[in-house]
Amino acid sequence: MERELTMEFARVTEAAALASARLVGMGDKIAADGAAVEAMRAVFDTVHMDGTVVIGEGEMDEAPMLYIGEKLGTGEEPVLDVAVDPLEGTNLVAKGMPGAIAVLAVTERHGLLHAPDMYMNKIAVGPQAAGRIHLDAPVAENLKNIAQGLRKRVEDLTVVILDRPRHQDLIKQVRACGARIRLITDGDVAPAVACAIEGSGVDVMMGIGGAPEGVLAAAALRCVGGEMQGRLWPEDEEDIERARKLGITDINKLLTIDDLVKTDDIFFSATGITEGPLLKGVTFNSTGAVTHSLVMRGRTGTVRFIEARHCFAKKPKYAIKGACEKSRIC
């Protein structure tokens, strides 16, 4: 993939973030998600690529757009697979809470695991701790090895875990080791990626979250030499059948980062919607808005933070779809 696509994909997540940011704190997560989806889809139409959604908003009969199998882009080469989450953290936006992002990952065809819409048990670390974790190892052993890689004490580590009843035992084990815990209510892509960003304050992400979100986070981590391991965590026979339909026959297989993302030819882009440890949220002003994005390219390992100042009066309408309907400057 050509490096020029970096900015194209940043524009895609910026559009989704701008649209959903209008609904921060409004209590309507469905409307916020819909705004992000519509805006992201509109900008994808302008990108010079022949893309196919492999992780998206659901099956064709479950979502009006960005559904699995939908074609994106102008239809020109390169031929790409696309994973999207236009609004990761719908509840966070609805309640005005921190940590919501718009995110995507793009690879060459067949570069991403077609993860079913189900849970996955995961552990994620940055490059300094890569090669030192194992999903099946005891929590104490993993934390000890991670601390050694980071040249810290276990007591200095910060572990991010989704605040769910299923994690009560995991939380007890981490606390028994003396490591610090940051519990989050929703959205585990951003904290998983934050493990690889120096100064984020996050050292490791552990626990059970969404499988599609695991693939998105793995794409970012692979760009910079981080590591993720996972294993699908079905709740019932329907989950197992859903995985089989996507070609996953061994539901208990330990998935390494090479299973989740099979190539280094990756682009990853995320734009903050509400303030978080990884990205600043969207702020609106008298002429438009300011966004903060993270873009990565796997082939070169380049990481860019982009602060963009958007002048709504000069931008094409498709690029600010949903962001300026209520603004006098549009």
Q: What are the two backbone dihedrals, phi and then psi, of residue 154, each rounded to the nearest 5 degrees?
A: -55, -35
Per residue in 218-277, pLDDT (tens digit) is: 999 999 999 999 999 999 999 999 899 888 989 999 999 999 999 999 999 999 999 998
The alpha-helical segments, DSSP class H, found in the chain are 5-21, 29-44, 90-95, 139-150, 168-177, 189-194, 211-223, 237-245, 257-260
Per residue in 182-207, pLDDT (tens digit) is: 999 999 999 999 999 999 999 999 99
In Å, what is the CA distance from 324 to each residue of 187, 208, 319, 327?
A: 26, 37, 10, 5
Phi-psi region of 202 (alpha: psi -120 to 50; beta: other; left: phi over 0): beta
**pLDDT band at 4; cut points 50, 70, 90:** confident
Distance CA 211, CA 124 (A): 13
322 has pLDDT over 80: no
Per residue in 106-123, pLDDT (tens digit) is: 999 999 999 999 999 999
Nearest to 48 by CA among 71, 66, 75: 75
What pLDDT was estimated at residue 313? Answer: 87
When the pLDDT of each residue in the chain is averaged and rounded to a whole number, the result is 94
The answer to whether 68 and 55 are in contact (CB under 8 A) is: yes
What pLDDT was estimated at residue 58? Answer: 79
Kindly list the structural domains of the chain, giving each domain's residue range(s) and its CATH number in brackets, ordered by start: 5-109+266-320 (3.30.540.10), 119-260 (3.40.190.90)
**pLDDT band at 316; cut points 50, 70, 90:** confident
Mean pLDDT, to the nearest integer, of 156-166?
Answer: 98
CA 142 to chain centre: 23
Mean pLDDT, to the nearest integer, of 163-174?
Answer: 98
The answer to whether 156 and 143 are in contact (CB under 8 A) is: no
**pLDDT band at 52; cut points 50, 70, 90:** very high
Nearest to 129 by CA among 187, 188, 202: 202
Peptide linkage before 86 cis (omega within 30 of 0): no
Contacts of 3-9 with C-beta under 8 Å, sequence gap 24+, read: 3/297, 3/300, 5/47, 5/49, 5/106, 5/267, 6/267, 6/269, 6/295, 6/297, 6/304, 7/295, 8/46, 8/47, 8/48, 9/47, 9/104, 9/106, 9/267, 9/269, 9/295
In Å, what is the CA distance from 119 to each residue of 8, 156, 202, 229, 252?
A: 31, 29, 22, 13, 12
Mean pLDDT, to the nearest integer, of 97-108?
Answer: 97
Which pTM does this prediction carry? Answer: 0.94
Considering only residues 210 and 2, tell me which one the structure prediction assigns the higher pLDDT.
210
For β-strands 79-88 and 101-108, DSSP reports them as antiparallel
The answer to whether 156 and 181 are in contact (CB under 8 A) is: no
